[in-house]
Structure 1
Amino acid sequence: MKKLIYILSVCAIVALIVVVLILNKKSTAEKTRMVMEASTEVAVKMIAVTDTAYSMGFTSNGVLQALRDLQFMSDVSGRVIGVYADEGSRVGKGKVLVQLDNEMLRADVVSSEAAYNGLKKDYERFKNANVQGGVSDQQLDNIRTQMIAAESRLITSKKHLADASIKSPITGSIYRRYVEVGSYVNLGAKLFDIIDDSQLKAMCFATEKQRLNLTVGQSVTVKSETFPDKIFQGEITFISDKADRSLNFPIEVTLTGDKQDLKSGMFVTVLFNIGAMKNGILIPRNAIVGSVQAANVFVVKNGTAKKQKVVAGDMVGEQIEILQGLQPADSVIVAGLINVTDGVKVKNIQ
């Protein structure tokens, strides 16, 4: 009897242990399943899309250019006997910059002038004699032809003499000199680089959509990193009718008012259409998957990421305009995209 009780007790204990092990196994399996499900969810950051009002203004970078930047070439040849301007000199239009040796040219002018004056007197005598019948019409025409040719040579000689005093064609500043006293300059030789910075302009670029809102004469704001606390004013003076290879249209902006210490070659940022407003959807640029021309985003529905094709518009600061493909209240992934694929489970982190 005692032996039977002992056997039953052992069996009960074993059965209890088996039940406990089975329950523990189920609990462990459930926990493992939950951990596995949690581990398959990709951590991302999402935002809710909203329809907001934003400025249609945009910025474009450019480099300031002078009104005129001239490479001044010589249109005569000769020995340099004087240079009257140096790098940094401010010169006016017509100021003599270089003097070439003109001794032979002056002698040629004197000779040409004497020949012309002599023929002119002969022509007057022949003319009077022709009236009295002492000189034929043919003789008069011959002397007149000689006089005209002599006058032409005199004019040419005077022009060559004047050209020996090389003058500045514009008002501006010399920023590079290539000629020295004693050197010989040939026709077409570079003499100076002259810049007229009385006006400054910047060549910027706009997309085809941005160009639609621009007109010649429109006021713009110009900023420079060199003078971060100053704002300069300008206006659009040229809008190209043809896009470049990157499908952007060149826009010329000329500074108006006081340009202060701005110089040609400085980097500037031009702000267009600052006051115009528009309603639409904006998302961060880093939410775009692929290029702007073939843009996609990941929209989250019921915890699952779905790849959605969108039509992107213009950049607005660090954000990009979405023209088609998103609706207000859509949840869009903006961070953590490196591990996201179409159909993957995701969870939002703040």
Structure 2
Amino acid sequence: MKRIIIAVLVIAVVGGAIAWVLTNNKKKNAEKTAVVAEGGGAVSVRVATIKKEPIDLDFSTNGIFTPNQELNFLSENAGRVSKIYVDEGDRVSKGQVLARIDAEILNTDKETAEATLQNAIRDEERYSSSFKTGGVTQQQLDQAKLAVQNARLRLQSSQRRVSDANIKSPINGIVNKRYIEVGAFVTAQGTQLFELVDVSKLKLRVNVNEGQVANLKTGDEVQIKSNVFPADNYSGRITFIAAKADNSLNFPVDIEVANNKKNDIKAGMYGTAIFKFPKQAPALTIPRGSFVGSVSSNQIFVLEGGKTARIRKVIAGRILGENVEIVDGLKEGETVITSGQINLVDGSAVAPIK
């Protein structure tokens, strides 16, 4: 019985609290309604008067320098490293010998291939002489000629392996890492030997938005600044523009940059690409937030008579940062509603905020 009485008291208390909250909310709503009534029911909005302004397409964006060429150099022959001629940090040129693999076994294979070829040539000569007198058939002669061709190919392969015992740099660059020591055994499956990096030319990859990428094309010259060397000026050339945006809806752009003679810029440093464009003719622009929903809707509200919102269909042009060019549908001097559109319909009464 006591439990029932306590439960009834709790319900009564909770019910009273809910009633108090509802009454209080009703009073607040009544106060808001009174304020709106005093203002004649007009919706407060922000507005802007439209006029032609010069368009500045220049922009800058940051990126990271990467090597124009970067190569992890792998072994092609099996053997023991007998000599290493370079160390980390050394500058190398294309064709320079970096290391040498013990070529004793390779030289033996080459000598065997040479002997096999000489023997095949002598056999072909004997078969040719015998064929003239009818001592051998045409098939036997053809087989002798084929043996010579095969022996010659085996010799070429052996000579190539002996040549590859001298590990040569395939590019101009710097030895960034050395993975081998004298006496180490490397395999023909591709033991990593050196990491070579060419920083005489670099790539600066940046991301631009849809409004910016529309003004770029491959081959355009770009001014480049290094964050570490701000006093130095570098020039670059656009070599790649992505045909598809990434997950952030930006477009990757690659810029090839020539380093200075000292190769001061290192791969991994930050850089800034400065895009400059010819001066543009003045055009009508409105704030991007003026559109109902998004720019693609091509709908805005204009202020008529200083107190009425009228919806207007326009044609949007280029997106210029926080502004959008208007190609058609607006005239200079008209007033556009820039905020508060969510509360508006065509013909709504508005009160511009001064």
TM-score, shorter chain, exceeding 0.5: yes
Q: How does 1:8-19 map to 2 (within 5 A)?
A: none
Q: Contact between 1:102 and 1:164, CA under 8 Å: does it hold in 2?
A: yes
Partner of 1:11: none
Alpha-carbon deviation of 1:179?
4.2
Partner of 1:18: none
Q: Contact between 1:53 and 1:277, CA under 8 Å: does it hold in 2?
A: yes
Q: For residue 254 of structure 1, what is the amino acid of its counterpart?
A: E
> Which deviates more, 44-53 or 122-131?
122-131
Partner of 1:150: 151
Mapped pair 1:328 → 2:332 = yes
Mapped pair 1:171 → 2:175 = no
Q: Contact between 1:63 and 1:202, CA under 8 Å: does it hold in 2?
A: yes
Alpha-carbon deviation of 1:65?
3.7
RMSD of the alignment, in Å?
A: 4.5
User: Matched residue of 2:163: which SS?
Assistant: helix
Mapped pair 1:71 → 2:56 = no
> Which deviates more, 50-59 or 260-269?
260-269
Partner of 1:270: 273
Mind listing any 5+ residue stretches in structure 2 that lack a counterpart?
1-32
In our comparison, the structure showing a higher alpha carbon Rg is: 1
User: Matched residue of 1:173: which SS?
Assistant: strand
**Aligned pair partner of 1:219 in 207, 215, 221:** 221
Partner of 1:280: 283
User: Matched residue of 1:94: which SS?
Assistant: coil
Q: How does 1:112-123 map to 2 (within 5 A)?
A: 112-117=113-118, 120=121, 122=122
Q: Contact between 1:175 and 1:195, CA under 8 Å: does it hold in 2?
A: yes
Q: How does 1:193-204 map to 2 (within 5 A)?
A: 193-203=195-205
Please report the TM-score for the alignment, with normalisation by the length of structure 2: 0.66
Partner of 2:89: 88
Q: For residue 165 of structure 1, what is the amino acid of its counterpart?
A: N
**Structure-2 separation of matches of 1:143 and 1:184:** 38
**Structure-1 separation of matches of 2:319 and 2:264:** 31
**Structure-2 separation of matches of 1:58 and 1:190:** 43
Q: Contact between 1:206 and 1:248, CA under 8 Å: does it hold in 2?
A: yes
Q: Contact between 1:233 and 1:257, CA under 8 Å: does it hold in 2?
A: no
Q: For residue 192 of structure 1, what is the amino acid of its counterpart?
A: F
Q: Contact between 2:288 and 2:295, CA under 8 Å: does it hold in 1?
A: no
**Structure-1 separation of matches of 2:93 and 2:135:** 54
Percent of counterpart pairs with the same letter?
A: 34
> Which deviates more, 157-166 or 111-120?
111-120
**Structure-1 separation of matches of 2:343 and 2:228:** 42
Pair 1:251–1:35, CA change in 2 (3 A): closer
Alpha-carbon deviation of 1:86?
4.2
Partner of 1:254: 256
Q: Contact between 2:202 and 2:259, CA under 8 Å: does it hold in 1?
A: no
The total of aligned residue pairs comes to 315
**Structure-2 separation of matches of 1:317 and 1:228:** 26
Q: Contact between 1:55 and 1:278, CA under 8 Å: does it hold in 2?
A: no
Please report the TM-score for the alignment, with normalisation by the length of structure 1: 0.67
User: Matched residue of 1:47: which SS?
Assistant: strand
> Which deviates more, 338-347 or 191-200?
338-347
**Structure-2 separation of matches of 1:60 and 1:313:** 23
CA deviations 1:266-322 (Å, max 9, x no partner) are 444434452241331223445555433336555444245555555443343543323
**Structure-1 separation of matches of 2:340 and 2:315:** 19
Q: How does 1:5-154 map to 2 (within 5 A)?
A: 37=38, 45-59=46-60, 62-117=63-118, 120=121, 122=122, 126=126, 145-154=146-155
CA deviations 1:165-193 (Å, max 9, x no partner) are 22221111233444455243342444433
**Structure-2 separation of matches of 1:291 and 1:183:** 64
Pair 1:178–1:341, CA change in 2 (3 A): farther
Q: For residue 78 of structure 2, what is the amino acid of its counterpart?
A: S
Q: For residue 265 of structure 2, what is the amino acid of its counterpart?
A: L
**Structure-1 separation of matches of 2:189 and 2:230:** 47
Alpha-carbon deviation of 1:51?
1.2
Pair 1:129–1:65, CA change in 2 (3 A): same
User: Matched residue of 1:160: which SS?
Assistant: helix
> Which deviates more, 160-169 or 95-104?
95-104
Pair 1:234–1:118, CA change in 2 (3 A): same
Alpha-carbon deviation of 1:50?
0.6
User: Matched residue of 2:331: which SS?
Assistant: coil
**Structure-2 separation of matches of 1:227 and 1:82:** 39
User: Matched residue of 1:71: which SS?
Assistant: strand
User: Matched residue of 1:222: which SS?
Assistant: strand
Q: Contact between 1:91 and 1:174, CA under 8 Å: does it hold in 2?
A: yes
Q: Contact between 1:305 and 1:340, CA under 8 Å: does it hold in 2?
A: no
User: Matched residue of 1:151: which SS?
Assistant: helix
User: Matched residue of 2:195: which SS?
Assistant: strand
Pair 1:237–1:35, CA change in 2 (3 A): closer
